[in-house]
Structure 1
Amino acid sequence: MFLQKIVAGVYGVNCYILGDEQTKKCAVLDPGGSLDEIIDIVENNEFKVDYIILTHGHGDHIGAVKELKQKTNAKILAHEDEKFILNSSKNNLTHMMGGAFEIEADEYLKDGQIVKIGNLELKIIHTPGHTPGCICIKVDDVLFTGDTLFAGSIGRTDLPGGDYDTILDSLDKLSNLDDNLKVLPGHGPASKISVEKSKNPYMQK
């Protein structure tokens, strides 16, 4: 499994390029910016981008989505409950970021769905709270958590569609996963489920 992180865009989003080295197919998770850097990594490793996968639809995570789709013709994937965010420049906050725009996904996902990238199987885990359609993505021993779970913290819940009690339910869902899973969040450093269960105050409520 090929995995490379880019701290993308002016808001410092963790964008991940996830690929299957055998089939040379890949996905780009949360391209918040830094389009040229993303393209360079894809081309230098001779990958074809099949999917652009959004853990959620806030402007800091979607800044390069349209340009990346134009260059690669990849399908945009997001959870079905994230239409509320993606389809509104007010709800996705791009109206506050200097260039309001909306996005329509090519395919809307459901909880438990499996997305295949070559030989890789990505399990979609619906974890609402930060937004209605937030997802985490499990592949092998890695869990991409977007803005649901950070090292030592969680995503804010005071934005459109956010709900504190709901995100706590989502954290409880994540706490039942394998303790050894590596947590790769949408911002900040990596962690592990076991570490967050023992040290993250929001996972102890």
Structure 2
Amino acid sequence: MECGPYGNNMYLVVCPETNESILIDTPAEPDKMIELAKTTDVKAIIITHNHMDHLLGFEDVTAAIDAPVGIGADDADALSRPADILLNDGDVISAGNVNLTAVFTPGHTPGSTCYHTSGHLFSGDTLFPGGPGKSGSPEKLKQLIGSITSKLFPLGDDVNVYPGHGDDGHLQSSKEEYADFRIARASG
């Protein structure tokens, strides 16, 4: 669901067998998210990274939905309340028969974390169709590119990518677009 003035994507991953769910990110327009989430049994609220546009609805969502909150350990200090789960690379969050594995991808923020399950990647602002997310310095860009190439690309070409903003994509297309981005960066 697209929410707020920054075009953020919020995701609700639902187990079809149990109707248990995991809510990913809490942007603006929390009432829309809360209404949708309350049609399920929310087992966790997880955050991809600590930027304000992904947290504008955080207080309202966490007040309305009684579920533990998880975020990458290095981004936890930005939350308005302590996280219940400090996520590290490889940690698993479950709802029914759905398991999301945390994939630590620093570069956009120190604690940026993507979430992977069979055939699906929730990439936050780490990877968009067309290339990597924004970074604050050449060193952070190098770190971000390293995260993408070493952690995300090995997940497989058939993986669907659901970014923090904009349209969904596929990891195979992202690899091809990333190659174009890398060539453009090298010549620029």
TM-score (norm 1): 0.82
Matches within 5 A, 1:39-188: 39-43=34-38, 46-84=39-77, 86=78, 102-158=80-136, 163-173=140-150, 174-188=152-166
Q: Deviations over 1:154-195 (max 9, x none)?
A: 211118xx8111101101121222100001100111111111
Q: How far is 1:35 from its partner?
A: 1.4
Aligned position for 1:29: 24
Q: How far is 1:153 from its partner?
A: 2.4
Q: Is the 8 A contact 2:22 2:46 kept in 1?
A: yes
Which amino acid counterpart does residue 34 of structure 1 have in structure 2? Answer: E
Partner SS state of residue 103, structure 2: strand
Structure 1 pair 103/12, CA: closer, same or farther in 2 (3 Å)? farther
Q: How many correspondences in the alignment? A: 181
Structure with greater helix percent? 2
CA distance in 2, matches of 1:202, 1:121: 32
CA distance in 2, matches of 1:28, 1:109: 15
Partner SS state of residue 71, structure 2: strand
Structure 1 pair 81/50, CA: closer, same or farther in 2 (3 Å)? same
CA distance in 2, matches of 1:83, 1:66: 14
CA distance in 1, matches of 2:131, 2:158: 18
* Matching of residue 8 in structure 1 with residue 3 in structure 2: yes
User: Cα RMSD (Å) of the superposition?
Assistant: 1.8
CA distance in 2, matches of 1:166, 1:112: 19
Segments of structure 2 that go 5 or more residues without pairing to the other structure are none
Aligned position for 1:3: none
Q: How far is 1:40 from its partner?
A: 2.1
Segments of structure 1 that go 5 or more residues without pairing to the other structure are 1-5, 88-101
Structure 1 pair 203/41, CA: closer, same or farther in 2 (3 Å)? farther
- Aligned match of 1:199 in 177, 184, 187? 177
Q: How far is 1:59 from its partner?
A: 0.5
